[in-house]
Structure 1
Amino acid sequence: MAEQTAHSESRPQTPAGTSPGIRTAVERARKPDSAVVRDALGVGIAVGLSGFAFGVTSAGAGLSLLQTCALSLLVFTGASQFALVGALAAGGNPLAAAAGAFFLGVRNAFYGLRLSQLLALPRFVRPLAAHWVIDETTAVALAQPTRHAARLGFTVTGLTLYVLWNLTTLGGVLGAEALGDTDAWGLDAAGPAVFLALLAPMLRTTTERAVAGLAVVLGLGFLPVLPAGVPVLMAALAAPAVLWFKGRSITRNSNRNSNIARDSDADRTKGEDR
């Protein structure tokens, strides 16, 4: 009996009669640091291991060990890195390859605007933290209920992913050099496969899936007729195209509802006049 009482006192208590929604919010606000660290480590380790695929892909594209490691150390955004070496491997123009990588990396600037308010880090830390603003660190930070938990999740995810990504990049390059021709092993497909695997779980809404689907169609459609590296730039047109179409649909539905409401009011007025 004493053990049960002590155990019940150690758990967070919520007032009697509290609604389920409020109880859930209270539990989230009391999320322990160990749970945040566990989630952050899971993301960092799972994604960090894919650096091996990038090292293999980069080596297959003809980049040296130093160039490949420099990309992971200084760029540190997997999608842009894969886009760059993928375009170079296909024989694309370096400027077109760099442009595609740049446009993919622009999203991190928008992540930074949101995280700067959420984390509220000291000024001298922000330049260092900005280097870790990527999809995974943003997702983990935004999923936390408090600023303290967001800072902890961001830091653990960023540190784990940065260290592991760079180590596995090095391992991928060394492994590719030991294997020889990566095309003979089919490892040139590792980069795109990993990129798609990272992208798929992020497509949660109908709009996001529509953008992704149209981007695939545009990229594959222009692949036979445009120089390597340019189709990925054309695929970027998918986002504004889908948003324009969605805006037109919303406007059309709004006008239809307004017409229905106006007709209903007119019918009601006629009935009252009678």
Structure 2
Amino acid sequence: MAADGTGKPDAAVVRDALGVGVAVGLSGVAFGVTSAGSGLGLLQTCALSLLVFTGASQFALVGALAAGGNPLTAAAGAFFLGVRNAFYGLRLSQLLALPRAVRPFAAQWVIDETTAVTLAQPTRRAARIGFTVTGLSLYLLWNLTTLLGALGAKAIGDSDAWGLDAAGPAVFLALLAPMLKTSTERVVAGLAILLGLGLLPVLPAGVPVLVAALAAPAVLFAEGRRGGRTRQDAPDGSDAPNVSGISDGLDVPDGSEEVR
């Protein structure tokens, strides 16, 4: 049970976190094979997993390189995909409230999976356990399977013949789909897909990813304009819908360990 007798039992948090860490960590094999197939050496491939450690950005980089894209363009696409982790960090820093000495090390583990597990926990204790177990298990397994995939790339041969070139996008979509809970998020994702796929035949490799990133500000701008018109139409503004999606009265009482 949880140490304070409330909330989610620690064992259940560990079980859920390990499930995510193991399931996603195994896909490092696909990254290792794909990276080796794009022309990167063993050390370069392993360094990406050790230092970058964000699967979507890693797959975007090696995918663009494999398609013959400019290295700078490929790196830019990977960078912009990784920027989202900085926003995750802003939220997680409040929920976890880790000591200052630990934060630089914990920052390396701020990714999609650790964020999803952490936000699902009802208390700060459970959030810390979920973040730590997910981050540790995923980091260790991802790097191990990356090494195995890179070493086995030559034995596998042409990764395209095995369909491993599709493993990266498939894993990324599997992680993203459950997070699209609002209509705005689904519209952003749909527009990004249309931009990315539509521009793929006419722009150099790596560039469509950068253009697809414009979907988010475009949709948010359109929603803001629509929300502004709705508030103007309301008699005193009191009937206008809350377009921000943020509810009132979310302050947690002092001393509470509630995370969400």
Q: TM-score range by the shorter chain?
A: 0.7 to 0.9
**Structure 1 residue 217 corresponds to structure 2 residue 194:** yes
CA distance in 1, matches of 2:131, 2:236: 49
**How is 1:31-70 mapped onto 2 (pairs within 5 angstroms)?**
31-70=8-47
**Structure 1 residue 148 corresponds to structure 2 residue 125:** yes
CA distance in 1, matches of 2:65, 2:176: 21
**How is 1:20-169 mapped onto 2 (pairs within 5 angstroms)?**
29-169=6-146
TM-score normalised to structure 2 length: 0.86
Q: CA deviation at 1:131?
A: 0.5
Conserved? CA contact 1:80–1:101, under 8 Å = yes
Conserved? CA contact 1:60–1:182, under 8 Å = yes
CA RMSD of superposed structures (Å): 2.1
TM-score normalised to structure 1 length: 0.81
CA distance in 1, matches of 2:132, 2:178: 22
Unaligned runs of 5+ in 2: 239-260
Conserved? CA contact 1:182–1:188, under 8 Å = yes
CA distance in 1, matches of 2:30, 2:172: 10
- Counterpart of 2:56, as a letter, is A
Conserved? CA contact 2:231–2:237, under 8 Å = no
Residue aligned with 2:190, SS: helix
Identical aligned residues as a percent? 80
Residue aligned with 2:234, SS: helix
CA distance in 1, matches of 2:90, 2:220: 22
Residue aligned with 2:198, SS: helix
Query: Which segment is superposed worse, 181-190 or 40-49?
Result: 181-190
**How is 1:1-20 mapped onto 2 (pairs within 5 angstroms)?**
none
CA distance in 1, matches of 2:93, 2:163: 42
**Per the alignment, do residues 260 and 47 of structure 1 end up closer, same or farther by CA in structure 2, a change over 3 Å counting?**
closer
- Counterpart of 2:28, as a letter, is G
CA distance in 2, matches of 1:166, 1:150: 24
Q: Deviations over 1:76-117 (max 9, x none)?
A: 001111111111111111111111111111111111111112
- Counterpart of 2:96, as a letter, is L
Q: CA deviation at 1:184?
A: 2.8
Q: CA deviation at 1:152?
A: 0.9
1:236 alignment counterpart: 213
2:155 alignment counterpart: 178
Q: CA deviation at 1:259?
A: 9.0
CA distance in 2, matches of 1:136, 1:114: 14
Q: CA deviation at 1:257?
A: 2.8
More helix by share: 1
- Counterpart of 1:93, as a letter, is N
1:258 alignment counterpart: 235
